[in-house]
Amino acid sequence: MPILEFSGVTMSYGNGAAGSRGRTAALKDVSFVTDEGSFVLLTGPSGAGKSTLLKLVLASERPDAGTIRVADRDIHRLRKSSIPYLRRNVGAVFQDFKLLPDASPLENVALALQVLGLPPAEVDLRARRALTDVELDPNTRRSSRCLSGGEQQRVAIARALAGDPAILLADEPTGNLDPRLSREILDLLQAVRARGTTVVIATHDPLVFEHVEASQILTLAYGRLVADTAAVAPMPADAPAGMPSAVSIADTMSGAGPIGAVA
């Protein structure tokens, strides 16, 4: 079942009318489908549009054209009523994960659940479970500013997972971590996927490609989707019926300039 679907999505930043000068196109005519339970790597060099794509899924930015469906719902058509829907269904970890520095890990996670309107006992239970899942002690009273970078990243992941979202988005989750911590975080994200959550990671870190077993790799260059390993290539006229030729990951890796350029 598709959990995330972009069709013909174009998005530009700036104040002018869509398509006018003075607007920077960040995504151009992007279309893809991601199945439930996938582990997706969204890649491409800095400035390619990765973070913009994630922000569109969260509805914190709006497309100029095209549609974005999360679990079969067009999230921008009914944008106001989609916000609570997205809060429940999409968890996100951004680079500036903005933990409350004076609050404990438990308080940070609990706050995100209170926003969902859950009763206090449920908030406490879920927050503790989410912290235990990322191997943090829910009872620690240390404020978040005293945690290491890796621990802070775990709190941010626990916060994103506590509401039990269908999709977890992570923007450059290994960006500020050393290789050992990066591997730990990636293992954690793979465990999240093993529980059935669809995971989408935006990254241009080669370590991520070495370490994770991705089910779909989307490559952006200058705002265009230039490769999608889950897309079925057009079938040659003489191909046997029922034998779609999927583009292999190896083809994408060797053929895509953007990955080679940043490795």
Beta carbon nearer to ligand ADP, 24 or 245: 24
Q: How far is the CB of 129 from ligand ADP (least distance, A)?
A: 31
Please report, in angstroms and rounded to a whole number, the separation of the first and last CA atoms in the chain. Answer: 33
Question: Quick one: tokens of 211?
Answer: 């370490």
| Closer residue to ligand ADP in complex, CB, 13/77 | 13
* Alpha-carbon gap, residue 167 to 91, rounded angstroms: 6
Q: Which is nearer to ligand ADP, 14 or 120 (CB)?
A: 14
Give the residues across from 228 on adjacent strands: 218
Nearest of 62, 64, 94, 96 to residue 80 by alpha carbon: 62
Residue 159: which H helix or E strand, with range? helix 149-161
Nearest distance, CB of residue 196 and Mg ion, angstroms = 27
Q: Which residues, 2 to 61, sit near ligand ADP by CB under 6 A?
A: 13, 24, 26, 44, 46-52
- Nearest in space to 108 (alpha carbons), one of 94, 84, 135, 128: 128
* Residue number with CB closer to ligand ADP (17 or 239): 17
Judged by beta carbon distances under 5 to 8 A according to partner kind, the member of ligand ADP, Mg ion, none in contact with residue 49 is ligand ADP
Q: Which is nearer to ligand ADP, 96 or 102 (CB)?
A: 96
Instruction: Determine the Cα–Cα distance for residues 209 and 9; give it in Å rounded to an integer.
Output: 26
- Nearest by Cα to 255 from 229, 234, 222, 236: 229
Residues 200-239 that bind ligand ADP (CB under 6 A): none
**Which residues inside 28-67 make contact with Mg ion, applying CB under 5 A?**
50-51
173 touches ligand ADP (CB under 6 A): no
Q: Out of Mg ion, ligand ADP, none, which partner does residue 138 contact, by CB within 5 to 8 A per kind?
A: none
102 Cβ contact partners less than 8 Å away, ≥ 6 residues apart: 143, 144, 145
Q: Show the tokens assigned to 205.
A: 């870190």
- In the complex with ligand ADP, which residue's Cβ is closer, 24 or 81? 24
**Least CB distance from residue 40 to ligand ADP, whole Å?**
15
Are the beta carbons of 164 and 195 closer than 8 angstroms? no
CB of 15: closest distance to Mg ion in angstroms? 22
Residues found near ligand ADP in the complex (CB under 6 A): 13, 24, 26, 44, 46-52
What is the binding site for Mg ion (CB under 5 A)? 50-51
